[in-house]
Amino acid sequence: MLARLLRPATAVAALAFLGAAQAQMEAPDALVKNVTLEVVAIIQKDIKDGDRRKIIALIEDKVLPHFNFNAMTASAVGRNWDKASPEQRSRLTDEFRTLVVRTYASSLAAYSGQKFDFRPLRAKPTDTDVTVNVRVLQSGAQPVQIDYDMEKRANGWKVWDVRVAGISLVVNYRTEFDNLVREGGVDGLIKALQAKNKSLERPGAAAPAPGVKK
């Protein structure tokens, strides 16, 4: 009796779960397009004042779930990742995530209505590692190319590197991180990241340069 009652319930639950998984497994190029357009629309409509806190909250809510920060941090830390304990790794990931989100927020705050060109994905349906290409168009200059390196995971496509105008975020931190580990060990790197993040919390530090009108 109970089993008979439960069976349809389980079926419904399973279906709902499948539906959710299906929705999550959006194609990588569609995912980038939808998230970009959604975030930019919210910024233009609701965060006109460039409020840093609101932009960071927006990124945490809409963008971060699609990033694999563990892979990003491991790659940026490079060979020294081996030397780090699990606890150090999680602190490195936290600090690096904070720094990247801040930088990302600054880039979004500087957005002034440029148009996007979402390039069609050049990949086979079976590929699990793709690069999604978006270009930001601007007058009197070459479009700025943004490449998202993405990997298919069980819970959807995840970004593991972003390249802006050919500059890889992960690669660009590698030398800096390497130098800091050589100077002060993994803890030295964690401290440097913490200090950097703290300095950006100072009022005004993350705001537009004084005197610059938006």
Partner 1 sequence: MVLLFAGAAGCATTNGGNDARDPAEGFNRNMHAFNEAFDEAIGKPVATGYRNVVPGPVRTWVRNFFANIADLWIGANNLLQGKPLDAVTDWARFGFNTTLGLFGINDIASEMGIEKHDEDFGQTLGRWGAGDGAYLVWPLLGSSTVRDTIGLVPDFYFDPVPQHRPTGVRWAMIVLRATSKRADLLDASRILEEAALDKYVFQRDAYLQRRRSLIHDGNPPRAGRPQPRAEETIEPAPRASLAAPAVSPHALEAAIRLLEEPAQPHPGSVVGSGG
Positions in 144-183 near partner 1 (CB under 8 A) = 145, 147, 149, 151-155, 160, 163, 165-168, 171-176, 179-180, 182
DSSP category for residue 13: H
Q: Rounded to whole angstroms, how far apart are CA atoms 121 and 150? A: 12
Q: Which of 148, 184, 174 is nearest to 68 (CA)?
A: 148
Q: Does 79 bind partner 1 (CB under 8 A)?
A: yes
Stretch that binds partner 1, among 7-15, 32-40, 44-52, 93-101 (CB under 8 A): 93-101
CB-nearer residue toward partner 1: 10 or 179: 179
CB of 52 to partner 1, least distance (A): 11
**Subset of 38-77 contacting partner 1 (CB under 8 A):** 64-65, 68-71, 73-75
Q: How many residues bind partner 1 (CB under 8 A)?
A: 74
> 180 vs 80, 189, 190, CA distance in Å?
11, 5, 9
CB of 68 to partner 1, least distance (A): 7
Q: How far is CA 40 from the centre of its chain?
A: 15
Two tokens at 16? 């709902």
CB of 90 to partner 1, least distance (A): 5
Q: Which of 161, 179, 62, 55 is nearest to 105 (CA)?
A: 55
- Written in H, E and C, the secondary structure of 133-161 is EEEEECCCCCCEEEEEEEEEECCEEEEEE
Site string for partner 1, 104-123 (x = CB under 8 A): --xx--x----------xxx
CB of 1 to partner 1, least distance (A): 32
CB of 40 to partner 1, least distance (A): 16
